[in-house]
Structure 1
Amino acid sequence: MFSKPANPILRSAAWRISLWATLAFAIGTMLVFAMLHRFVANDIQRRSDAWLSGEVEVLSDVAERTPKNTLYSRVVGEIAELASREVPNRQRASTDGNEDDSVFFLQASDQGNAQLWVGSGDGAATLSAIRSTNALQDTPFDVQVKGIGVPFRVASVRIPDGSSIYLGLSERDELHVLHNLRIRFLTLWLAIVLLGFVIVFYATRRMLGHVREITEAASRIGQSDLSSRVPNTESNDEIGHLARTLNHMLDRIENSVHQLHTITDSLAHDLRSPLTAIRGKLETVLSDDMRVDHAEPIVSAIDELDRLTEFLNTSLDVAEANADALRLNRKEVDLDEVVRSMIDLYEPSMSDKGLAVHIRSAGAVRVLADPSLLHRVIANLLDNELKHLPASCTVSLSLQTANEMGVLTVEDNGPGFDEEIRHQLFERRIKGRTSRGHGLGLAFVEAVVRVHGGTVKAANRALGGAQLTLALPLCQAQNEESKHALALTNG
C-alpha cells in the first residue's frame, strides 16, 4: 500500500529532477558568463592599451620636438588636455565637473622629479606609485594611486633627453561597464533559472504523475478485480506505451488466472468425486450391523478420507493464494463478532482438553474480507492451539485497532514454536516434530491474510508460549483506497 509522505512535493522525483537540471543549467550559464565577462574585460583593456600606446607616442613626439623654453610646459600641457578629450569608453564626467579626473600626463626626469603634470590632484603621489611598480618599459601597466579608489592604466615612453613620459587612463569607466554587465546578467540569469525550474518541474511532474497513477492503479489490480486496467493516455509517447504494455500484460495475467481456476476446479472435481464415492460406500457398509472390531478400521478410513479431502482443499486454496488468484467475496465483516462466534464453537472442545480461553476486545472492528475465508483462518488458529497445547494451558485472544488496521493477537503459555522451524512457519509442509497435520494451516493463514492486504507475524513469547499477530486493513481505509483506485482507473 502507498503512504503519503509529509512533504509530497519536496520528496517527489519531479522536484529532484527539476532541482538537478536547474542546477546544471545555472552552473553552465554562469561558466559561459564568466568566459564572456573575461572576453569583454580583455577587449576593453586591449582598446584602452591601444589608445594609451598611440597617444603616449604622440605626446612623446611633441615633447621631443618642442623647444625647452617657457612655452614648453604650455604647449605640451595643451596637447595632453586635447588627448584627454578622446578617452575611449568614457561614460560620465566626475561629480566635481573636472574633465581631467580620468586622464593624467606626467613627465619625470631620471632623478625622479616631476617636470610636467597635467591632471587632477597631486602628481607627486602618482609618480611615487609609478616608481613603486615594477613594470616593463613600453608595456601598459596598472597603478594604484594612494587616496584614489580606482586604479589607472598607464603607458610610458622614454625620450632622448633622458626623461620619461607617462600617460594614465582611469579604469573607472571600464569597471562601470563591467559592473552594469554583471548586474544585468545576474538579473536575467536569475529570471531564466527560475522560469526554467518552473517549466522543468511542471513538465516532469505531469509526466511522472501519469507514471504514479499507473503504478497505484496497477498495485491495486488483482486484489479485488483482475478485469480493471491502468489508465491509458492518448499520447503515443513512452508513458502511453507503458500503459498499453501493462494492460496487455494484465490481459495475459487474467487469462492465466482464468486457466488456473479452470485447472484447479477440474482437479478438485476429479479428486473429490472418487473420494466422496469411497466415503459413501464406507458409510453404507458402516450403517449395516457389524462387529465393533470390524467397524473401527472403517471409521478410521473415513477419518483419513476427511483429512485427505481437507488437505486437498487447503492445498488448492494456498496455491491460488500464492498465485494471487484466490477468489474473494469481500463483504464488510465485524472481526470481533467472527472471533467470538469461533470461540463459542471451540470452547467446549478446549474445555474438554483442559484449556482456558480468554478474549479482550476494544469493540467492533470492521474489515472488508471474505467471511468464509476469515472463519477458516480463525478456525486454523484455534485448531493449532487445540492440537498442540497440553492440558492446563491458557489461550488469550486480543483484538484492537492501530494505524488503520484491525490487529488480532493469539497467544498461549504452552511450549511455543520449535526453534528450528520458527523462521519457516508460513511455508508449506513445514511442521513441528510432534505435529500430526500436513503443515498447511499457517501457510493458509498467511496466504489469506496477504491477499486481503494484511500481515501476519509469529514469535515465541519471552515468558514462554507462542504468539501470532494478524493485521487486516479496516473497512474505511480499504474503501478509501478502492475509491481512489477506481478514480485512477476511470480517469
Structure 2
Amino acid sequence: MSSKTANPIMHSAAWRISLWATLAFAIGTMLVFAMVHRFVANDIQRRSDAWLTGEVAVLGDVAGRTPKDRLYGRVVREVAELASREVPNKLRSNGNENDSVFFLQAGDDGNLKLWVGVGDGTQHLAAIRALKAVSDVPYDLNVKGFKHPFRVASVRMEDGSHIYLGLSERDELRVLRNLRFRFLCLWLLIVLFGFAIVFYATRRMLNYVREITEAASRIGQSDLSSRVPTNKRNDEVGHLALTLNHMLDRIESSMHQLHTITESLAHDLRSPLTAIRGKLEIVLSSDLKVEQSEPIVSAIDELDRLTEFLNTSLDVAEARADALRLSRTEVDLDELLRVMLDLYEPCMSEKGLRVDLRSAGPVTVLADAALLHRVIANLLDNECNHLPAACTVSIRLGASENTVILTVEDDGPGFASEVGLQMFEQRVKGRDSKGRGLGLAFVEAVVRAHGGSVTASNPPQGGALLTINWPRAAEETVDAPHSLTLVNR
C-alpha cells in the first residue's frame, strides 16, 4: 500500500470537505438573506402604504372642505405639494420637487380634473383606468414612460370624483438593490474567508493523518520496530496514532513469539531427525548386504522428505501469518528460470516432457532469492511429478511497468476437480496425487508475502494454467488479494 501524496490539491479530501462545508454555509446564509430581504421589502412597503393611506385621506378631507371656486385648484395643489415634501429620504431628479409623488383628481366622468406631478397626468390617468383597482387598497401602478412603478392609494369623494396619490417605488427599489449588493460583497468575502479557514484546518489535520499513513505503509514484516508519529493533542487523530502504535506493539510481540516458537519447533524436530539420519548413515557405511542396505537407504530418503516437509510447513505458516522474514535482493527471473530448467532437464527428458520457454528477456525483481528459487522448484516439481509422458510445458515470462507475469501452462489432465477453491490450502491435494499438498500452498504464500498474487485454472482447451503476478518493486505491506482458483471453466 502506498499513500497518494502526489495528488493535486483539488483532488484532496481537504478540498472536498472544505468545498462541501462552504457550500452548505453559502446556501444557508443565502436562505437567511432571502428571508431578511423579504422582511425588509415588506416593512418598507408597509410604511409606504401607511403614509399613502394617511396622506390621501388628508387630501380627500381638504378637497371635501374646500369650496369649489376658482381657488379650489390652487389650495388643493398647494396641500398636495406640501404632502410631497414630507416624503423622507427621497432622491430628486432634475431639481423637480414632485418627481417621486403625484396627485391626481379625476371627475365623476373620468376626466382629469386636477394634477400635481411630473408631466400632464394623462399617462397616469390612462394607467389607472386600465387597471381598475379597488379604491381603498394601495396597489402598484405601471405608467408608460416611467422606469419604476408607483404605489397608489385612492379615495372617493362625495361628488363622485376620485383622488389618487402615487408614490414612486424608485427609492424602495434603490434601498433593496443597495442591500443586495452589499450583502453579496459581504457574502462573497465571508464565504471565501470561511473556505480558507476550513481548508487550512482540514488540510493541517489530514496532513497529520497522511504522515501516519506514510509511516504505517513503511512498516512491513521486515521492520516492525517503527511507529507512527504522535502529537500532544488529545483529539481523535492523536488517539488514532496511539491506538495504531499499541496495535503495532502487540503485532511485534506476536511476531517475535511466532518466530521463537517456529525456531524452537524446527530445532526440536530437526535435531532428532538429524541424529537418526546420522546413525543410519553410519550403519550404511559398514559392510552390509544389498538386501540389508535398501531399507536403510529408503529410511534416509523418508527422513529427508520429512525434513523438507517440516521446513516447508513452517515457511507456509509464517507466510500465512505475514511473518515470513524476507531478505530482498535484485534477482534476474529470466536467468533463474533458465538455470532451473537446466537442472530439471534430466527429469523432464526421462518422463518424455517437452518444455517451451518464451521470455521477454532479462527481468529484474526485488525478492528473496532463496524463496524465489524454491517457488520455481515447486512449480517444476509439480510438472515432473503429475504430468503423464509426452506432454508439453509452456512457460511464459513477461513484464509491464510495475508487474512481472509468469505463466506455467501444460496440456495434461489439469487440476483435480475435487480440489476446487482450496487448491492453495495446506495438505489439500487430488486423490491421485502422491505429494503432501504443500507445493502450491508454499508458492501462494511466498508470492503473497512479496505483494503478488497467484491464480490457477483449467482452461477450456484442457490442461492446467497457473499465473503469477509479481511486483517489480518492494511492497512493504502485504495487501494482495487472495488467490482465486477456477476449476474446469
TM-score (norm 2): 0.91
Take 1:455 and 1:9, find their aligned partners in 2: how far apart are those partners? 33
Q: What residue in structure 2 maps to residue 93 of structure 1?
A: 92
- The Cα of 1:227 is off from its aligned counterpart by 1.0
For structure 1, the 5+ residue unaligned runs are: 483-491
Q: What residue in structure 2 maps to residue 355 of structure 1?
A: 353
Q: Which whole-Å deviations, capped at 9, do the CAs of 1:235-260 have from their partners, x for residues lacking one? A: 33222221122112111110111011
CA contact (8 A) 1:106 1:123 kept: yes
Partner secondary structure for residue 331 of structure 2: strand
What are the residue-to-residue correspondences of 1:377-392 with 2, within 5 Å?
377-392=375-390
- The Cα of 1:33 is off from its aligned counterpart by 0.5
Q: Which whole-Å deviations, capped at 9, do the CAs of 1:139-189 have from their partners, x for residues lacking one? A: 322122234332111112223333221110010111111112112212221
Q: Give the letter aligned to residue 382 of structure 1.
A: L
Q: Give the letter aligned to residue 293 of structure 1.
A: E
CA contact (8 A) 1:458 1:466 kept: yes
Take 1:306 and 1:478, find their aligned partners in 2: how far apart are those partners? 33
What are the residue-to-residue correspondences of 1:457-472 with 2, within 5 Å?
457-472=455-470
- The Cα of 1:3 is off from its aligned counterpart by 7.2
Q: Give the letter aligned to residue 258 of structure 1.
A: H
Q: What residue in structure 1 maps to residue 480 of structure 2?
A: none
Q: What residue in structure 1 maps to residue 26 of structure 2?
A: 26
What are the residue-to-residue correspondences of 1:473-488 with 2, within 5 Å?
473-474=471-472, 477-478=473-474
Q: 1:270 aligns with which of 268, 271, 275?
A: 268
- The Cα of 1:129 is off from its aligned counterpart by 2.7
Instruction: Determine what percentage of the aligned residue pairs are the same residue.
Output: 74
Q: Which whole-Å deviations, capped at 9, do the CAs of 1:290-332 have from their partners, x for residues lacking one? A: 3433433333332222222212111111111111111111222
- How many pairs were matched up? 477
CA contact (8 A) 1:153 1:171 kept: yes
Q: Give the letter aligned to residue 471 of structure 1.
A: N
CA contact (8 A) 1:223 1:452 kept: no
Q: What residue in structure 1 maps to residue 136 of structure 2?
A: 138
Q: What residue in structure 2 maps to residue 233 of structure 1?
A: 231
CA contact (8 A) 1:422 1:459 kept: no
CA contact (8 A) 1:458 1:469 kept: yes
Indicate how the Cα distance of structure 1 residues 6 and 135 shifts in structure 2: closer, same or farther if over 3 A, else same: farther
For structure 2, the 5+ residue unaligned runs are: 478-489
Partner secondary structure for residue 144 of structure 2: coil
Partner secondary structure for residue 153 of structure 1: strand
Q: What residue in structure 1 maps to residue 344 of structure 2?
A: 346
Q: Which whole-Å deviations, capped at 9, do the CAs of 1:343-400 have from their partners, x for residues lacking one? A: 2211121111111223222232222211111111111111111111111122222222
Higher deviation after alignment, 155-164 or 451-460:
155-164
Partner secondary structure for residue 157 of structure 1: strand
What are the residue-to-residue correspondences of 1:361-372 with 2, within 5 Å?
361-372=359-370
Q: What residue in structure 2 maps to residue 123 of structure 1?
A: 121
Q: What residue in structure 1 maps to residue 184 of structure 2?
A: 186
CA contact (8 A) 1:84 1:103 kept: yes
- The Cα of 1:78 is off from its aligned counterpart by 1.7
Partner secondary structure for residue 409 of structure 1: strand
Partner secondary structure for residue 464 of structure 1: coil
Partner secondary structure for residue 419 of structure 1: coil
Higher deviation after alignment, 129-138 or 145-154:
129-138
TM-score (norm 1): 0.91
Take 1:198 and 1:384, find their aligned partners in 2: how far apart are those partners? 63
CA contact (8 A) 2:3 2:213 kept: no
Q: What residue in structure 2 maps to residue 297 of structure 1?
A: 295
Take 1:8 and 1:293, find their aligned partners in 2: how far apart are those partners? 78
- The Cα of 1:434 is off from its aligned counterpart by 1.7
CA contact (8 A) 2:335 2:362 kept: yes
